[in-house]
Every structure is written in C-alpha cells, then in structure tokens.
Chain A
C-alpha cells in the first residue's frame, strides 16, 4: 500500500513507491479497535489520535508484548514463523519511557555505532557514562540509539522526541530518516505535534475509538 506523496525537501528522502514491508491485518486486542495497516520500505508514517484511543497498546501488540490476535507479517513472513526474540529484534519498539538495567551506558548496547551516537550529539565517552546520571533527554536519545543498534526493519516509536529540545529533536528526526533510507526500513511514529508531522511524515494515520483512519496528507 504505497502512499502517494509529494517529496519533501531535505536529504535522506527517497522514492517510497515500494512493495509492502510490514503488513497488519485485523489486529485485535483489548483496549483498542481492530486495526489493519501497511508500511512500505523507507516509509515514515506518523500515528496520532486522542489519548486513550490505544496508540501505545497498538505498538505493544505489534511488538507482540501483549496477547493479541490477527495477522502481522514482515517481508511476507508471518510473525508465527519467527521466534519471539527474532521478531522483536526486527520489529523494534521504543516505549515513551526508557528503562535501563546495567550501571553504564555501554552495557545496554549490542554494538556501539559511534557515527550514530555522534549524529545524536554524543561523543565516544558516552559509553562509560553512568546511567543514573543521564538526563531524561539523554536517556531518550540513547534509547533510540540502543534500538537502532539492533538494525530493526520496522521502528515503532512512541513519542521519541517528547523530552528533547529543538536541536536534539532535529537530530533525532534526521537520524531516523537517514536510517530508514539506508536500511530500507519502515517507521510508525507516534506524535501529537502538527509541526513535527508536517516535517517528517510521508503519511499520517489517526487512531480513535472507532478505528484507524488515513489522516490529512502531510
């Protein structure tokens, strides 16, 4: 289901008329209306809607963290054919609030991509930083980097720039856009900010109690 789009200016934009990468059909779970959607490779889709409509519940179901029914497939392979670990590595969910279990930043990374970290405004010393001394904005940016280190094919981002200042919002947006272009990945990005949707979205979806609707074109 390729989106019709007017190519927005800026680097990292590529043609998005591609075959469907991530397909969701009749996904059902408690607290959310049934949902069907498709994401193409390289596509960034913004998800908005009133709070309580189930945006976070939708992302959790897509990452298969809660009990849910329906068909979800990645690259034509249904999730039942993959182990839960493989599924969640490839369908990467970034919750609104990040959690850290080790004492230093490096303990949380599969591999440290210094280029990625520097594009988020960190230098190499960040690996040794103590987690408990991170600000909420640093946590949010590092959580994004931690997720991308897995090289997921689909990104499910729950308000990933909510705690960031304008400079870092721009950095995070650019990093995700570059990542999608390089890895041919797709992204579902929950946000409430109209300006952000206008800046980054190839397409917009709106979730309310009745279901998922195509939003106004970005």
Chain B
C-alpha cells in the first residue's frame, strides 16, 4: 500500500483552488462555498480519522453508540438545511431524524449481526463505516424527497385544494406528486446501481482496491453495500414522506402550508 504524503494531498488541493479561482469570475459566492466545503472536508475527515483511530483501539459499545448519535444529529440538520421550504419549528428536523434512525440503524444492525456476523457485532471498524455510508445515502434520499414534496405542495397548492374541494382524499389529491417525490428520493441509488461497474467504480470499492484489497473481495463488499443502501435510503424516504404528508394536512384534511417556513 502506497502512503500519501502531505505534499501529495496539497497537489490535489491545488486543483480545487484552481477551480475556485476560475469560477470566482462567474459566480464569486459559489467559489467561496467551494473553498469552504473543501476546507471542511479536510478538517472533518482528519478529525474523524483521529476519532476512528482511538475508537478502533478500544472497541466499546458506548463509544460506538455515541459517535452514531453525533452522526445522526448532524445528518438530521443537513436534511433540514437542504430544503428551501422546510417545516416550521422542529418538525423538519424531527421527521428527518426519526426516518433516518428507523431505516439506517435497522439496516446497519441487520447487516452487522446477520450479514457480516462479527464478534462483537458492534466492532467499530465495521459498524462506523457501514452506518456512515447508510446514513449518508439515506440523508441524501430524504433531503431530495422532502425538498421536492414541500416545494411541489407549495407550487401546486391550488391543484391539491381543487381536488380536496371535490371530496377527494388527501392521498388522491397528492397521488401524482407522491410518485414524483418517491422517484426523486430513490433515483440516485437506482442510477448508482444501474451504472455501477460499467460507467463508474463505486467509491468504497475503489478505496479498498487502492488500499491493496483483492478486487473480487472488494466487489462483494460493494454489492452488499449497494443493496443495504437501497434498502436504507428507500425505506427511510418512504417513512419521511409518510410523516411529512401527515404534517402537511391536519385532522380536517386541510392543506396546511402555514406549517412551512416562509
């Protein structure tokens, strides 16, 4: 395995700086966002590297649970900030957290106990990366779906209400919107699975191969991860959309867009 030096990383960073300088002429704000994001990547990944190093040295369920909790909290915040029209109060955050917790954590537990079958099952070397990938993808799916849901409900309020006026149920009034919303939540993972191996080599597998693992072993892990992600992101999106739709209407089946932030 070839070790990367600080110089190697700096050379790669030059590419981002060059992109920022070029795009600054077209859109200065975007260049700044790009640099901040790149900086965050470097700092956050360095920190998590140190945390994982400590964690792997003493594998305790308490520490794994605590780190998982932090990851979940940050993912919940990320779901909220990615929405243009979010639920007012803590609702967006709560819906995101509950959906991600129920889907990602269940799928991660299933994978660790049934599929991987390590002893102990919470061995951080497996648990944390697995949960991280699941949470990241579930978060993406939920954020995309909820953004689509709230935005479409806002834009099409007249059409939704036109159906309610005619005595249609909330499910009927939202039927076509709900399809689009599920689609936007699931399309990233469907696309990723469809193109995997032909157009793109997935990141996890590439990382394992670069780090010296046998390709066939890396591929097996990647297939498992893809399926787990599909399950986690899919069920997470289903749950989040279900909870959000319930919040969008009240007990008299009125469309309550006043529950979204203006």
Chain B: interface size category: 10 to 19
User: What's the nearest-Cβ distance from chain B to residue A9, in Å?
Assistant: 34
In the complex the two chains form, is B165's CB within 8 Å of A93's CB? Answer: yes
In the complex the two chains form, is A84's CB within 8 Å of B159's CB? Answer: no
User: What's the nearest-Cβ distance from chain A to residue B8, in Å?
Assistant: 56
Interface string of B162-176 (1 = CB under 8 A from A): 111111110000001
Say which residue of B158, B253, B256 sits within 8 Å of A85 (CB atoms). Answer: B253
In the complex the two chains form, is A86's CB within 8 Å of B162's CB? Answer: no
Kindly name the residue among A97, A101, A146 whose own CB sees the greatest number of chain B CB atoms within 10 A.
Answer: A101
Kindly name the residue among A84, A93, A147 whose own CB sees the greatest number of chain B CB atoms within 10 A.
Answer: A84
Interface string of B90-130 (1 = CB under 8 A from A): 00000000000000000000000000000000000000000
Say which residue of B159, B165, B250 sits within 8 Å of A101 (CB atoms). Answer: B159
Q: Does B220 contact A (CB under 8 A)?
A: no
Residue of B nearest to A108 (CB): B166
Those of A55-96 within 8 Å (CB) of chain B = 63-67, 84-86, 88-90, 92-95
Residue of A nearest to B249 (CB): A84
In the complex the two chains form, is A99's CB within 8 Å of B159's CB? Answer: yes
A89 cross-chain contacts in B, Cβ below 8 A: 166-167
Those of A110-131 within 8 Å (CB) of chain B = 110
In the complex the two chains form, is B164's CB within 8 Å of A88's CB? Answer: yes
Q: Does A98 contact B (CB under 8 A)?
A: yes
In the complex the two chains form, is A97's CB within 8 Å of B166's CB? Answer: no
In the complex the two chains form, is B167's CB within 8 Å of A95's CB? Answer: no
What is the bound-complex CA distance between A103 and B256, given in angstroms? 27
Say which residue of A66, A84, A101, A146 sits within 8 Å of B176 (CB atoms). Answer: A101
In the complex the two chains form, is B254's CB within 8 Å of A67's CB? Answer: yes
B254 cross-chain contacts in A, Cβ below 8 A: 64-67, 84
